[in-house]
Structure formats: structure tokens, C-alpha cells
Amino acid sequence: MTSVNRNKRVVAHSVDPRAPLHEIETNRALARWLAQILGCEYGGSHDPQQHTGLDLYLLPTQTLIGAEAAQALGVNGPEDLWGGYVEHDFICTKAITHGLLNKHAVAPPGWSPLFSKLTRGAVLDGVTVFALKDARPAAEHLLYAGPIRFKPIHACAGRGQRVIESLDQFDEMVADPGAQALFREGVVLEQNLREVQTQSVGQSFINGQVLSYCGVQHLTRDNEGLEVYGGSDLLVVQGGYIELLSLDLPDEVREAVRLAQVFDDAANQAYPRFFASRRNYDIAQGIDVGGQPRGGVLEQSWRMGGASSAELAALQVFVEDPSTRAVRVSSVETYFDQPLPPGAREVYRGVAHNGGFLLKYVTVQSHDG
């Protein structure tokens, strides 16, 4: 990948104008930190009047959607941003993880049947639905093999999901007045696993450097007592997946990396105009209804995410000491006000989305701990 020109300005960009303060401030903090690592100027938050015509390196909070939006921001390829670009909204959601019920099912413009063919075996059993009329046949088909999970395609961090164990329970849910609009926007129906562990696998391409990693996510309780994302522990290497797999990794981690590669390759083939310099995949590994181990990619993240601060911490280590082969990094999100651990870097300290307190920080350890 082409190196970032040092004359470029690294610019934060909060895509959603209604985004909570902690997301906006985290975006700015990461863009400022990335500029320091790259030796570039930090240009603040993107401002069309101030930044039009300038050479920018963008850090958006969401995947960019549509050629018009990308061109307005000066993004023409993966060398112009740390994030991703897709032609249509559904491509950067859970929707592409599964195929449609059949060739007669409702599909959005730009839908590629090729993707689900290429990822067969790399994802869990499931169906993506874009119309209420397709929902019950899809649920009936999947429930024959056991409980399923209902997942709105735009929901994040598990919000809006529920487990459905019978057709009666499904019928009760779709009888809700808002069901038609929800299914029209897109819903994934997917087999439900027990004893699940979620692996994170991904790559970042920044300034000619390739970082590849594997790790796990943690949950915590927010100010309202809800179980939410609490951070990621990553093992990051300089180089591609070959370098990552050259390390001594458990079999289940190697399998997670393989599944992520299949999903990533399928995205490149099925949606050829898609590009991304940050590619993160969540892989669920658990036990199916028959008591057998099962794993599959749940979704992709081609944008700034909870583990982004950990990736930047690893990048800084590799830039400052190019001889370092691998490093362990952790991003942490906690809803309790507390001092930073020794050596930690603060990313955000302030108000959470629900008005409580939120602290985000990152730590670094050597590969051998």
C-alpha cells in the first residue's frame, strides 16, 4: 500500500451528526494520535469549507457509503483513509453474512448472491430478510434445526438481538406494528450457539505498514447495568496473516483466522468496488444444538471500532522499533472513574452516551507478557 504523504493532514470525521460525545472525542483523539505516529499535521474534525481541495488522510467513524460521499471527502482509494468504502449501505452491515431465502426473496439494489456462495462453511447457518413476507418461511426453515437469533442489520454491540425458540414466539414478535418496517430495513436470522467465545481477527494497512492480529473481546456493565463492550485484547504482528500464523497459536485461533480470510476474500470478489484499509471480523465459536463445536464469522467492521486504539498502540511500537515482530495490546472501556494503570494511554474520559461516566484507555505489553 502507498505510504501516506507527510504533507497530508490527518482529519477526524464523525459521519453521524447525532453521534454521542464520546464517539466524536474518541475519533478526534485517535486521529490526533495517528498524525503523531505518521509525522503528519493533525487537521481537526473535517470541515468542508476549511478542508476542500487539501490533501487529507481521513479517519471516519463509519464506513463511507456511495461514490458521491467518498468523492466529497476526497477519498478515492484505501490510501486516503483508515476505514472503508462500499457502494451500498447493506454491504457494510450484518446483511451480507447470509444469503436470501430463495431467488424470489426481496433484495436491495446491488445485492450479490456470489458472496454467500463463497462464504458457505465460513459463517453460521442463517438467512437475511428484507421483507416481512420472507420472514416466516425463513424462520420456519431455520427453526427446524434449533433456536435462532434475531439480529437487525444496523444494530451494534448486540443491541436489539433476541433468541427465538419456536414459531409461536416468532409469530408473536412479527405481530408487532413496527415489524414490517424493521424487516424492510433488514434482519438476519441465524442459528444460535451456546457457550460462545467471540474472536477478533483483522488487518490494518497504514502508511505502507501491514498489521495483522487476533484476539478476544470483553464485556462490562455500563451505568445502567447493561452488558456492553468492554475492550479487546489483541496479539498484533508486523505483516500479513502468514506472519500471524507463524506464531504459536491455539487451534481455535488458527481456525478463526482462516474463517476471516475466507470472508475477506469473498467481499473483494462479490463487491469489487469495495475497499478498506481497516478490516476487522468477529468470529463466534461455540456449541450448536447437537452438541457439536461450530464457528462462523458474525460480521465485519470496515471502520473505526473499539479495538482501533489498540491497533494504533501496536503501530506506534512498530514505527518506533521496527525490529519488534509482535506485541500484545489491549483497549479498555470502563464505566467506573479510576486512575490509569501504569503505562496506559488515555483515549477518552468523560460523559457516556447515557449521561454516566466512561473511560477509554489502551495498554501495551511485550509479546511474551
Residue 340 is given by DSSP the state P
User: Is 83 in contact with 204 (CB distance < 8 Å)?
Assistant: no
Tell me, what amino acid is at 264?
D
pLDDT value, residue 204:
98
pLDDT value, residue 3:
53
**Grid coordinates given for 62:** 463509519
Q: State the DSSP string of 81-145.
A: BSSEEESSGGGGSGGGGS--SSTTS---TT--HHHHHHTTTTS-SEEEESSHHHHHHHHHHHHTT
pLDDT tens over the chain, length 369 residues: 445 556 789 999 999 888 899 999 999 999 999 999 999 999 999 998 888 888 999 999 999 999 999 999 999 999 999 999 999 999 999 999 999 999 999 999 999 999 999 999 999 999 999 999 999 999 999 999 999 999 999 877 666 788 999 999 999 988 888 888 889 999 999 999 999 999 999 999 998 999 999 999 998 998 888 888 899 999 999 999 999 999 999 999 999 999 999 999 999 999 999 999 999 999 999 999 999 999 999 999 999 999 999 999 999 999 999 999 999 999 999 999 999 999 999 999 999 988 899 999 999 999 875
How many contiguous H segments (helices) and E segments (strands) does the chain have?
10, 18
Strands 278-287, 293-301: pairing is antiparallel
SS3 at position 74: coil
Closest of 250, 272, 248 to residue 110, by C-alpha: 272
pLDDT value, residue 1:
44
pLDDT value, residue 324:
96
